[in-house]
Structures are given as C-alpha cells and as structure tokens.
Amino acid sequence: MTEVDWTLSVKVPDKINTNNMNVFLMLVFFTFFITHMIYIIMEEVIVRRHAKKQKLLNENQKIDFVGTLAASTAHEIKNPLTGIKGLVQLLVEKHPEEQDQFYYSVIMKEIERINSIVSEFLILGKPMVQTLSLYDIRSIIAELRPIIESEARHFNIEVEWNIIKEPTLVHCTKDQLKQVILNIAKNGFEAMEVGKKLRIRIHHENEWAKIMIIDNGQGLNEKDIGKVFDPFYTSKKEGTGLGLFVCKRIIESFNGTIEFSSKPLVGTTVTISLPLIKDHT
C-alpha cells in the first residue's frame, strides 16, 4: 500500500449543506409554530377563566342586589298589604252582592300573589346563616300533606306518597323545608295536564335523606335545564323565576343539595338530598 501513489480526498456535496439548512429552517419553523400554538392555547385558557370568573362575579352581584332590594323593600310592602287585606275583608262582609263578591275575590287573589312574591323576596334578603333544628322529615310531610293535596285538587291532579317507615332526621328549619317542597310540587302541578300524577318519595341513600318530587309533565329541554336555578328565569306568563332559586339557597343552607333532571314530554324529577342524622343523642 505504501508503494502506491495515492491520495484520499473527501468532498462534502453541497446538497448535504442545503439539506442541513432545510432541516434547520424546518426546526426553527416548528419551534416557532409550537410555541405560538402553546401561547394561543394558554391565552384562550386565561381568557376563558377570566370570563368564567366575571360571570360568577356578575351572578353574585345580581344576587347581592336582589338581596339588598329584598331586605329594604319587602317589609315596607308587606305592612300596607296586610292593611289592604283587612279592609277588603271588611268590604266583603259589607257588600254581599254577587258581582261585588267576585271583584273582592279577584282583589284578594291578587293580594295573595303579591304576598307570596314578597315572602320569597324576604327569604332572599335574609342572611342564610341561621339556627337549624332537628326534624323528622316525615312529620314535616304529615303537616304539609293536606296543603299539597288541596293544591293538587285545584289542578285536578293525583298525588302518590311513598314515605319511608324509618325515622328520617335532618337539620333544617321547618317552615323553609315546607316552602321548598311546596314550591317544587307546585312547579310539578303547573307542568302537568289534568289527570296526571305527582309522586313524592322519601327514602334513605347511604348517609343522605332523599326527597324526590316526580312529575310526568311537559319536561324541559337540556338547554333550559341549566337555567332553572338562575334568579328570574321563568317560562311562565305569571312566574317570578325565583321559586327554584330560593329553594336552592334554602337547601344549601341546610348543607344539602338539590338536583333537577328532566326530559321533554316525559317529565321532571327534583331530588333534594339532606345529610341524614343517625345519632342524635
């Protein structure tokens, strides 16, 4: 080998240089692209989070506003209303003619309506930190049953009761729990046609007392289900849209939860869950 006259030379073709350049440019491009994408995604997440926070803030401001409005005006409305009611009662006795009696009954009905709206406003104005007492839901239901039955007769609807035999103790305030059940039952009546059936079921599920109010009325579509607990959301001509909003506030103040599930033309189930008190000694 040493005797042969030879030289070895290597020439790197220009093509490899060009390839290297291309790879480098591609890398730069991809790095830029990926960084840009990450930046866009992060910005989107931040904007969305901000919008969600803002929405919550607006919701809370709305609730605070309603609360303040309620606290400052509800009492002022209730007092003169009681006076008007008393005077109409006097007129009812003074003018027995059929036509007059009809007018008075309309006035009384309207006064009752204002009264019930104002009562809901009063609850909104109340601070929700309150003293809860121990009650057996079954005894609350026993007191409520005649009221719901009479309301059902008014709507021409049957009520089926399915109440657990065992004690069902929970921490709550009696009148407020009654109001919640009545509000939900009334929604059921309003959603059903004559001749249908409302089912009220009380049972235990693990550590929870469950109150289920089930109707087979018109139901609600998925889009609107998300709005039912919003203040002032109503699909009714004469509704205030405060019923379920107030129910939710009350149930949450008992450390419970309330769920609304519905299917158009099939019906609606509202489930209230309250922590079951087992040992009350």
What residue ranges bind Mg ion (CB under 5 A)?
187, 243
Q: Is 220 in the site for ligand ATP (CB under 6 A)?
A: yes
**Among Mg ion, ligand ATP, none, residue 242 binds (CB under 5-8 Å by kind):** ligand ATP
Query: Binding residue for ligand ATP (CB under 6 A) from 201, 241, 257, 277?
Result: 241
Q: Do residues 92 and 101 lie in contact, with contact meaning Cβ atoms separated by under 8 Å?
A: yes
* Alpha helix segments (H runs only) across the chain: 14-94, 98-125, 137-155, 174-191, 222-225, 243-253
Shortest CB 238 distance to ligand ATP, Å: 7
Which residue is closest to Mg ion by CB? 243
* Residue whose structure tokens are 């866009």: 40
Query: Binding residue for ligand ATP (CB under 6 A) from 234, 257, 275, 277?
Result: 234
Distance of alpha carbon 195 from alpha carbon 158, whole angstroms: 7
Q: Do residues 208 and 275 lie in contact, with contact meaning Cβ atoms separated by under 8 Å?
A: yes
Question: At 41, which amino acid appears?
Answer: I
Q: Is 228 in the site for ligand ATP (CB under 6 A)?
A: yes
Nearer to ligand ATP, 125 or 241 (CB): 241
Query: Binding residue for ligand ATP (CB under 6 A) from 236, 252, 263, 266?
Result: 236
Site for ligand ATP in 62-81 (CB under 6 A): none
Q: Is 235 in the site for ligand ATP (CB under 6 A)?
A: yes
Nearer to ligand ATP, 169 or 247 (CB): 247
Q: Do residues 103 and 177 lie in contact, with contact meaning Cβ atoms separated by under 8 Å?
A: no
Query: Which tokens sit at 37?
Result: 């994408």
CA angle 190, 237, 83 (to 5 degrees): 90
Query: Binding residue for ligand ATP (CB under 6 A) from 168, 179, 216, 268?
Result: 268
Q: Do residues 130 and 234 lie in contact, with contact meaning Cβ atoms separated by under 8 Å?
A: no
Nearer to ligand ATP, 36 or 62 (CB): 62
Q: Do residues 160 and 200 lie in contact, with contact meaning Cβ atoms separated by under 8 Å?
A: yes
Q: Is 124 in the site for ligand ATP (CB under 6 A)?
A: no
Shortest CB 218 distance to ligand ATP, Å: 6
Shortest CB 168 distance to ligand ATP, Å: 23
Shortest CB 191 distance to ligand ATP, Å: 3
> Which of 69, 71, 72, 89 is closest to 81 using CA atoms?
89
Q: CA separation (Å) from 16 to 11, 13, 19, 130?
A: 11, 6, 5, 80
Shortest CB 210 distance to ligand ATP, Å: 17
Site for ligand ATP in 180-219 (CB under 6 A): 187-188, 191, 215, 217-219
> Which of 239, 279, 277 is closest to 255 using CA atoms?
277
Other CB atoms within a 10 A radius of the CB of residue 209 amount to 24
Shortest CB 41 distance to ligand ATP, Å: 37
Shortest CB 62 distance to ligand ATP, Å: 15
Sign of CA dihedral 129, 135, 136, 140: negative
Which residues lie near ligand ATP (CB under 6 A)? 187-188, 191, 215, 217-220, 228, 233-236, 239-245, 262, 268
